[in-house]
Amino acid sequence: MMPIRIVVIDDSAFMRKIITDMLSSDNQIEVVATARNGKDGLQKIQEHMPDVVTLDVEMPVMDGMTALQHIMEVIPTPVIMLSSVTEEGTSKTVQAISNGAIDFITKPSGAISLNIDEVKDDIITKVIVASQAKIVKKSPLKKSGSITDTAASKRYSRSIVAIGASTGGPKALQRILEDLQSDFAAPILIVQHMPAGFTKSLAERLDKLADIRVKEASHGEFINNKTAYIAPGNYHIKLKTLGTEHTIILTKEPPRNGHRPAVDVLFESLAEVERVNKISAVLTGMGSDGSRGINLLKELDPESVIIAEAEESSVVYGMPKAAVKTSHVNQIVHLHKVGDTITKLVNRPGGI
């Protein structure tokens, strides 16, 4: 089996050495080159044609954001960003993920993290996942055609949409929210696997791009139509019914599937809500988070509609594949059609 070939790009010689040593400790990985800035990195990438690139956000000469743009345009390669947990760092990292980076690693203590070995296992895991990921080429926005009918009927005046995503999710969420039609009328609850701090930056970025409001969810707030609520990093998100309204509950219950927030927790919570039309979507990501929740949704409300992102558009076809294996998925939909599909499921008179 051929090793996963890596180029490490970081302006700190110390960080280049530590990251190289950590990755090289796994016999599945070979660091074929390192680079001190984005310009140097582009040359190394073209020379070595690696399977994965680790890319620092802040660098002189050519920073990580500019380098990422060139990589995606010239020689599309799975990229993992390395970022500091600062307001600027989280914002740039979310932008990088939306612009094509596969995933990111948070440096524990700033640009030069002497304790970077704390995230050694995380870096290795993400590099292995990235090596198997697809670089989905950017395509212009386009409206999808008609959707196929399902056996479900639109029984209630209100619909609630729940979406779960992991690796590749921020870019997929951007596409979906931008594709929602102007007459879209429902609340959306979103679980995106991300650490604390990054979900706020993601919500702020998506809010600027989408026609509907996008915000990081707050404990105790009532959900409103035409608003998307993103679960904060390190909190599960649930729904609670109060009279005719529904409120958001954030909890620090133990992680599920290694995640907090977890898609299963959101879906299971939605399953318990009565007298609403329920639409759930599972997008790109590693693992099987969401599958248990799908089972409960269909058990308690067989008319729930479940969407799985199609394999050809998924960066990582793990979570959607696991969803399909439940045999409860109603529609398998290419990312370019998910937003339009959800709109029609919510708004179509006479049936969802």
Q: Is residue 143 part of a domain?
A: no
Q: What is the pLDDT of residue 348?
A: 67
Structural domain of 87: 4-131
Helix 169-179, helix 198-209: angle, nearest 10: 30
Does the annotation count 289 as an active-site position? yes
Region 6-14 average pLDDT: 93
- 312 in the same domain as 163: yes
Q: What is the pLDDT of residue 142?
A: 40
- 165 in the same domain as 93: no
d(CA 118, CA 243): 46
Q: What is the pLDDT of residue 139?
A: 47
User: Who's near 144: CB < 8 A, 6+ residues apart?
Assistant: 336, 337, 340, 341
Is residue 331 a contact partner of residue 305, using CB atoms and an 8 Å limit? yes
pLDDT band of residue 107 (cuts 50, 70, 90) is confident
Per residue in 264-315, pLDDT (tens digit) is 999 999 999 999 999 999 999 999 999 999 999 999 999 999 999 999 999 9
Single-letter residue type at 130: A
- 96 in the same domain as 32: yes
- 334 in the same domain as 192: yes
Q: Is residue 142 part of a domain?
A: no
Q: Is residue 271 part of a domain?
A: yes
Read off the pTM.
0.87
- 279 in the same domain as 192: yes
Q: Is residue 119 part of a domain?
A: yes
Per residue in 126-175, pLDDT (tens digit) is 999 999 998 865 544 343 333 344 434 467 889 999 999 999 999 999 99
- 192 in the same domain as 270: yes
- 334 in the same domain as 212: yes
Give the length of the chain.
352
Higher pLDDT, 15 or 228: 228
Q: Is residue 138 part of a domain?
A: no
Q: Is residue 144 part of a domain?
A: no
Average pLDDT, the chain: 89
Distances from the Cα of 296 to the Cαs of 270, 307, 329, in angstroms?
Answer: 9, 15, 13
Q: What is the pLDDT of residue 138?
A: 52
Paired tokens of 217: 């969810």
- 75 in the same domain as 175: no
pLDDT at position 98 over 90:
no
Structural domain ending residue among the three candidates 113, 131, 149: 131
Higher pLDDT, 299 or 85: 299
- Tell me, what DSSP letter sits at residue 259? B
The 3 state secondary structure assigned to 36-49 is CCHHHHHHHHHHHC
Q: Is residue 31 part of a domain?
A: yes
- 180 in the same domain as 123: no
Tally of CB atoms within 10 A around 241: 13
pLDDT band of residue 230 (cuts 50, 70, 90) is very high
d(CA 167, CA 318): 9
Single-letter residue type at 10: D
Total domains present in the chain: 2
Q: Is residue 151 part of a domain?
A: no
pLDDT band of residue 118 (cuts 50, 70, 90) is confident
Percent of the chain at pLDDT exceeding 90: 74
- 163 in the same domain as 126: no
pLDDT band of residue 91 (cuts 50, 70, 90) is confident
Region 112-117 average pLDDT: 62
Q: Which is catalytic among the residues 166, 280, 288, 313?
A: 166
The strand pair at 245-251 and 236-242 is best described as antiparallel
Q: What is the pLDDT of residue 145?
A: 35
CATH no. for residue 71? 3.40.50.2300
User: Who's near 210: CB < 8 A, 6+ residues apart?
Assistant: 174, 177, 178, 180, 228
Does the annotation count 166 as an active-site position? yes
Higher pLDDT, 136 or 178: 178
Q: Which is catalytic among the residues 51, 56, 131, 193?
A: 193
Region 320-348 average pLDDT: 93
Helix ranges restricted to H, the chain: 13-24, 38-48, 64-74, 87-98, 120-131, 169-179, 198-209, 263-272, 291-300, 319-325, 335-347
- 329 in the same domain as 208: yes
Q: What is the pLDDT of residue 112?
A: 57
With b for 16 or more beta-carbon neighbours within 10 A and e for fewer, the 2-31 pattern comes to eebbbbbbbbbeebbebbbebbeebeebeb
Q: What is the pLDDT of residue 152?
A: 46
Q: What is the pLDDT of residue 186?
A: 95
Q: What residues form DSSP beta bridges with 104?
A: 81
d(CA 109, CA 14): 14
- 245 in the same domain as 98: no
Q: What is the pLDDT of residue 257?
A: 87
CATH no. for residue 259? 3.40.50.180
Q: Which is catalytic among the residues 10, 264, 289, 340?
A: 289
Paired tokens of 18: 């530590």
pLDDT band of residue 54 (cuts 50, 70, 90) is very high
